[in-house]
Amino acid sequence: MNKVTPTEESVEITIEGLDKLWSFKGKVTIPRDHIAKVHLRPEGMHPPWLRAPGTYVPQTIAAGTYHGAEGKEFWNTRFRDDCVVFELKNFEYTRVVMMYPTHRNRLVRSLDARPT
């Protein structure tokens, strides 16, 4: 599970429980000025093929750091419809995809509505 804490300067994503083990990471802090777009994960979006470090079970779990043509991405998802995608610029990751089962539409609206 993921806990999201937006502040004026950043969005802090805390990875909890076994997800912390699967993703090899406990926290991702994204400065707000590095967020290009926030949206719900479209059907069919999958992580790049190379993970290091991370865990992947097809159509079940993608957790950790993935490398592909678009750059480095961080995923922590179970491939359900409750995923939020952060498209990033000038940051360690080009994309962060995470499960957020409660109030995800409100989270997307609040983070994507600010001027860039």
Q: Are 98 and 75 in contact (CB under 8 A)?
A: yes
User: pTM for this structure?
Assistant: 0.85
* Residues contacting 92, CB < 8 A, separation 6+: 72
**Alpha-carbon span 2 to 47, nearest angstrom:** 18
Q: So where are the chain's domains?
A: 2-112
63 within 8 A of 55, measured Cβ to Cβ: yes
pLDDT at 46: 84
Residue tagged 């909890």 (tokens) = 16
| Per-residue pLDDT reduced to its tens digit, 4-52 | 888 889 999 999 999 999 999 999 999 999 999 988 888 888 888 888 8
Q: Give the confidence band of 112 by pLDDT, cuts at 50, 70, 90.
A: low
Q: What is the pLDDT of residue 5?
A: 87
pLDDT, tens only, 83-106 = 889 999 999 999 999 987 666 666
